[in-house]
Amino acid sequence: MSQRLEFKALAAQHALTLSELCRRFGVSRKTGYKWLGRETVEDRSRRPLASPSRTPALIEAHVLDLRRRHPAWGGRKIARRLRDLGLEGVPHPSTITHILHRHGGIDPPRSGEGARYTRFEHAVPNALWQMDFKGDFALREGRCHALTVLDDHARYAITLTACRGQNRREVQPALERAFRRYGLPERINADNGQPWGSPGAWHGLSALTVWLIRLGVRVSFSAPAHPQTNGKDERFHRTLKAELLRGRVFADHDHAQHAFDRWRAMYNHERPHQALDLAVPASRYRPSARPYPQTLPPIEYGDGDTVVKVGWNGQVRFAGCRWKVSSALKDLPVAFRPDGAIDGRFHVYFCHQKVALIDLDDDVKS
């Protein structure tokens, strides 16, 4: 534009012929005449008079409305959701991304986002549930601890519960409701903190994990300082924060739970999941065939086991020695099972779960 401005100014002086002026500016006489014929020197719009391939305004409106209701969704999720809703003429995800850019709906990427990870998942639903708390956040009245349980295969949100604390009184009723609706999983993985773990006890057994084991659920624990063991649930926490918690303040636990229930339904049944090839979690989830029992099943061991009842202080006597176990097992029987390969070594079981390995030649006794 500055070049055209200078060209017109010099041409108005008539110091040079138009041909010479065009030669010095490196343009043709045709271009020179065109510049002189314009009333302004601004660039003319290159927008075509007609855009037959432009996304229809109605489609753009649907895209922007879905983005407004789900600010964390990108082009692929929006495209898949619009198709799931039966909308015709849904553009390619990249076109939807351009629409969002054009309307200022895309934030600059944060460092680390978009990195590819190697994923592992169990082959069928209910083979593993991941369980954890999403930290805690302030309410107008008190604080809320969000209990989350996620199916490893389907990414289905089994439980999203607004708890008043991270303790067995809050967690066990929530799990009971989940078991009654979805049945029992084969295994649940949790971290080593309360209420699932108990520092200093065999395999971190707590009253809650003892209850789960008695139900026939295998319990595993994440390695200390390795939250990626529960990586899918950790990723679920990021989505929960981005799509529901960020910028929201709830009055109390009932208010938070109402929002949790609505968002969980949307997450399971409407939100396309990138790790599932943009299917929704509900399309891959099936309830467990193992029903929640009305009463705890009896504890039974094999004929070759030595069964010992745990004392009031969490100790057992075996082979003339006292061994310290979890106080959560008080008055419950555990089994000492010979190793079979090494004399004097025993595997210690509670129900189906191995909780310790002891060697009578070691000095690890009470």
Q: Which of 74-78, 93-97, 247-251 has the largest mean confidence?
A: 247-251
Q: What is the pLDDT of residues 20-29, one digit of tens each?
A: 888 878 889 8
The band of 215, judged by pLDDT with boundaries at 50, 70 and 90, is very high
On the question of a cis peptide bond just before residue 195, with omega within 30 degrees of 0, the verdict is: yes
Residue pointed to by tokens 């699932």 = 196
Q: What is the pLDDT of residues 262-313, one digit of tens each?
A: 999 999 999 998 888 889 999 999 899 999 998 999 999 998 899 999 988 8
Residue 3, amino acid: Q
pLDDT given at position 39 = 60
pLDDT given at position 221 = 85
Q: What percent of the chain has pLDDT over 90?
A: 40
pLDDT given at position 104 = 65
Mean pLDDT of the region 157-182: 94
pLDDT given at position 365 = 43
